[in-house]
Amino acid sequence: MSRQDTGIRRATISDVAREAGVSPSTASVVFSGKTPVSDATRRRVLDAASALGYTGPDPRAASLRRGRSGIVGVVFEEHLGTAFLDPVKTLMMDGLADAVTPLGAGLLLLRDHEPTGSGPSLTTAPLDAAVLIGCSGLLRESLETVKARGIPVVVIEGDAGDDVPRIGLDNREAQRQAASHLRALGHREIAIVTLPARVDWQRGWLHDDTAVTVDVTRERLAGALDVFPDATAYAAAGSFIDEGFAAGREIFADPDRRPTAVIAQSDLLAAGVIRAAEEAGLRVPEDVSVTGFDGIVVDGLAPYELTTLVQPATDKGRAAGAAVAAMLEGIPAASIRFTCTFREGNTTGPAPALA
Amino acid sequence: MSRQDTGIRRATISDVAREAGVSPSTASVVFSGKTPVSDATRRRVLDAASALGYTGPDPRAASLRRGRSGIVGVVFEEHLGTAFLDPVKTLMMDGLADAVTPLGAGLLLLRDHEPTGSGPSLTTAPLDAAVLIGCSGLLRESLETVKARGIPVVVIEGDAGDDVPRIGLDNREAQRQAASHLRALGHREIAIVTLPARVDWQRGWLHDDTAVTVDVTRERLAGALDVFPDATAYAAAGSFIDEGFAAGREIFADPDRRPTAVIAQSDLLAAGVIRAAEEAGLRVPEDVSVTGFDGIVVDGLAPYELTTLVQPATDKGRAAGAAVAAMLEGIPAASIRFTCTFREGNTTGPAPALA
DNA sequence: CGAGACGGCCGAATCGATTCGACATCACGG
DNA sequence: CCGTGATGTCGAATCGATTCGGCCGTCTCG
């Protein structure tokens, strides 16, 4: 009934064993290769299998017995499609995929807060481990479920308590480095374009620093403020060029109060800011300097080369994968904090002489 | 042993049942809700569960018994990270996610040709269904495995034989429409920038039409050639702005043989072509017209509005999800062919008068 | 007041494969 | 000629939950 209605049900390994005249255990071993089998037997089993159209052990049954499903859940806090719009996340996924593949595992996409109820959540999916991405408070909830299920967890860019390995970045220090660079170039009037301050944030000026609940945003902001305590900050609604463009327009709106440099918290934002600057008739970097963050390749930004902080996004993913692998082995995984590298491009230059 | 080494093993539903003083079947029913249970019993079971730290049925066991895992595999033919660079695929994933969520299923990312061997493939993952994306011959192989396993399959943008539902696009007709538009505007000298002609294609002029093995590329090319048989074609190595830029440079290189219009097979390529045109000192659309394909929002292309073919990318994903859902119900799903809508932007205009 | 209906709960079989200790066989060296 | 290993195969238990027929007690309606 519940079976694929081809009338007859698929062959099982017992069927194959019977057909081959061996015991199920032997047949099983032929497929798993856990134990040596004589060539003759192997041949017989394999022949029987293909005769019956048996394509290998049912993963469901295997995973039950093994206690492993070969699936690592990746939990996002945003709409799945949105997550992949972010090149950094994409790169991380890449690294993650790289790292779990040799483990024989695949990546299951999960949403943090499933809206339509019935979806597969942390609770119902056959996961071996989970990787949480992001840092908003929302993840806390997911975290509890997962920890309760006794599944190894790793958190990327977020804080999940001390018992959960964390893959992070030296956001504050890195951002401070970029800020110092600008300071050294003589800049004093600075505007900051930040990533969203909160989930569901609408773009707008950031007057109250405490309003920032997203860790990454807060840390990078702090780094910038370390050097320029008086800088103004405008928070975008996402890491997109268009958001940066909108922010840039705001920032360059009043000719009398134009900053000489803009610190953007992502390369995409920076690209938008540059475009806004061009629109406002400002040359980059002669009239205004712009720094980014991430070190990704912004498609279509040429000939500009962003002055930015290069973060090892792929490595972060890979590290998360490695941590998962370790935990699966029973070895406790340590938190890792990656370091960004400052890269000077052609979007920053000496502060223009005072008008 | 193989257990999570917390010393004691996790509680099972039988433990809970015992603790609550009911039979395992009753306890099971409390969680699944398949059968009415008295409130008193439910309470007892739930209490027992939380006392034992039982977080719900083990998905592995459940899926074995149920014959369903709640997982739909999505097979890409490229590096996972690369796949998400394409906005169209991203949108499709979105639609797909939407459509399978109410089904209670999640999306498992799979690579067609797992390089490192041991990865989870179509053969080893506990899939309820699979969605193949893309169209190269490589997928053929995957297809066989999946069909052999008796798993429902849907193919997006590709041909998999008549017994496999296919979600497609009227690529040729649509592209022809754009070409006709240009023709009506008086254009006669046309260059086409195509998507990759083959997997692992290096960018370059396309001299031999038969070299094109990728379906989408071929169909759109055919549509353009229907109207402009003599058009030259340059095949990019991927759907990126930078690729379009590179192609554009080639195309605009020789001032004596510049086309008056460029048909790009994707919006991203078109954006790059426009940028190349600007670089060459050509105005769009006064000196050269450019059309795209996809109808996506190209981040940072403003103020241009591409003349393009809008394809219902999200709907394609949704349709694939729906097809999967149907097949899971035992209802055979039909192939669907979506229609693109021509949208005129400000990147096409009358052909310039002859110099 | 009795019979049928129905809500609730239980038993037992089942899903399909894996695993490990036991066992048979055969070769070889002392 | 027999003990000792090595090699390969088998049996049986197990993984954890689901499901369906059946049974029992109560409620309802005639």
Closest alpha carbon to C1' of D20, residue: B25
The pLDDT of residue A205: 94
CA distance A61 to B188: 63
Least confident of A96-110, A282-296, B115-129, B325-339: B115-129
**Which segment of A21-30, A104-113, A281-290, B34-43 scores lowest on mean pLDDT?**
A104-113
A35 CA from C21 C1′ (Å): 14
A6-14, long-range: CB < 8 A, 24+ apart: A6/B150, A10/A53, A10/A54, A10/B150, A11/A49, A11/A52, A11/A53, A11/A54, A12/A54, A12/A58, A13/A54, A13/A57
Residue count of chain B: 355
* pLDDT at position A8: 61
Query: Which residue of chain A has the CA closest to B274?
Result: A300
| A32 CA from D6 C1′ (Å) | 22
What residue in A sits closest to B144 (Cα-Cα)?
A55
In angstroms, the CA of A24 and the C1' of C23 are apart by 17
Q: CA-CA distance, B141 to B171, in Å (whole number)?
A: 25
Residue for token pair 């055919």 = B222
Distant-in-sequence, close-in-space partners of A140: CB < 8 Å, separation ≥ 6: A160
Residue-wise pLDDT for B273-322, tens only, equals 999 999 999 999 999 999 999 999 887 777 899 999 999 999 999 999 99
Looking across all nucleic acid strands, the nucleotide with the smallest C1' to CA distance from residue A66 is C18
B7, with CB counted inside 10 A (0-12, 13-18, 19+), is: exposed
pLDDT band at A222 (very low <50, low <70, confident <90, very high): very high
pLDDT at residue B1, as a whole number: 37
Q: How far is the CA of B38 from the C1' of D26 (A)?
A: 14
Report the percent of chain B where pLDDT is more than 70: 91
Q: Could you list the protein residues whose CB lies below 7 A from any atom in strand C?
A: A 9-10, 12-14, 24-25, 28-29, 31-32, 34-35, 54, 57-58, 60-62, 64-66; B 1, 21-26, 35-38, 40-41, 61, 64-65, 67
Which A residues, 114 through 143, put their C-beta within 8 Å of a C-beta on chain B? 114, 116, 118-120, 123-127
Q: For residue A186, give every residue at least 6 positions away whose Cβ sits within 8 Å of its Cβ, in sequence order, or none.
A: A350, A351
Three-state DSSP state, B166:
strand
Please give the DSSP secondary-structure letter assigned to residue A2.
Answer: -
User: What span, in angstroms and rounded, lies between the C-alpha atoms of A226 and B199?
Assistant: 49
In the complex, which nucleotide's C1' lies nearest to the CA atom of residue A54? Answer: C16
Which whole number is the average pLDDT over A92-109? 86
Is A232's pLDDT higher than 60?
yes
For residue B59, pLDDT over 80 is answered with: yes
Distance separating alpha carbons of residues B148 and B123, to the nearest angstrom: 10
A264-316 residue pLDDT tens:
999 999 999 999 999 999 998 999 999 999 999 887 787 899 999 999 999 99
pLDDT of residue A168: 92
Nucleotides of D under 7 A from a protein CB: 7-12, 14-20
Average pLDDT, chain A: 88
Does the distance separating the beta carbons of A80 and B93 come in below 8 Å? yes
Residues of chain B with C-beta less than 8 angstroms from the C-beta of A300: 241-242, 245, 271-272, 275, 300-301
Query: Does A119 have pLDDT greater than 60?
Result: no
| C9 C1' closest Cα residue | B26
pTM summary value: 0.84
Chain A (203-232) residues lying within 8 Å, Cβ to Cβ, of chain B: none
Does pLDDT of A117 surpass 70? no
Residues of B in contact with A55 (CB under 8 A): 123, 145, 148-149
Question: How many angstroms is C1' of D1 away from CA of A38?
Answer: 29
Q: A19-33, A149-163, A232-246: which has the minimum mean pLDDT?
A: A149-163
Mutate to test the interface with A, among B55, B58, B92 (most CBs of A within 10 A): B55
Tell me if B79 and A94 make a contact (CB, 8 A cut-off). yes
Q: Are residues B259 and B189 in contact, defined by beta-carbon separation less than 8 angstroms?
A: yes
The percentage of residues in chain A with a pLDDT greater than 90, rounded to a whole number, is 59
Quote the minimal CA–CA distance from B257 to chain A in Å.
25
Q: Which residues of B touch A69 (CB under 8 A)?
A: 59-60, 126
Q: What is the mean pLDDT of residues A114-133?
A: 75
3-state secondary structure of A270: helix
Burial class (CB in 10 A: 0-12, 13-18, 19+), B183: middle
What's the confidence (pLDDT) of residue B120?
60
State the DSSP code for B185. T
- Beta strands per DSSP E along chain B: 71-76, 106-111, 129-133, 153-156, 166-169, 190-194, 204-206, 232-235, 261-264, 289-291, 308-310, 336-338, 341-343
Q: A261 pairs with which residues across the strands?
A: A190, A289
CB atoms A55 and B80 under 8 Å: no
The model's confidence at residue A355, banded by pLDDT at 50, 70 and 90, is low
* B264 vs A89, residue with greater confidence: B264
- Here the tokens at position A113 are 């807060």
Residue B272: is its pLDDT beyond 90? Answer: yes
Phi first, then psi: what are they for A154, rounded to 5°?
A: -130, 140
Q: Could you give the CA distance from residue B324 to residue B306 in angstroms, rounded to a whole number?
A: 34
Query: φ, ψ for residue A190 (rounded to 5)?
Result: -120, 140
Enumerate the residues of chain A whose CB falls inside 8 A of the CB of residue B63: 60, 64, 126
Q: Identify all chain B residues contacting A268, using CB atoms and an 8 Å cutoff.
A: 299
Positions of strand C less than 7 angstroms from a protein CB? 7-20
Residue listed under structure tokens 């390529």: B269
Q: Which nucleotide is nearest to B58 (CA to C1')?
A: D16
- Burial class of A335 by CB neighbour count within 10 A (0 to 12, 13 to 18, 19+): middle
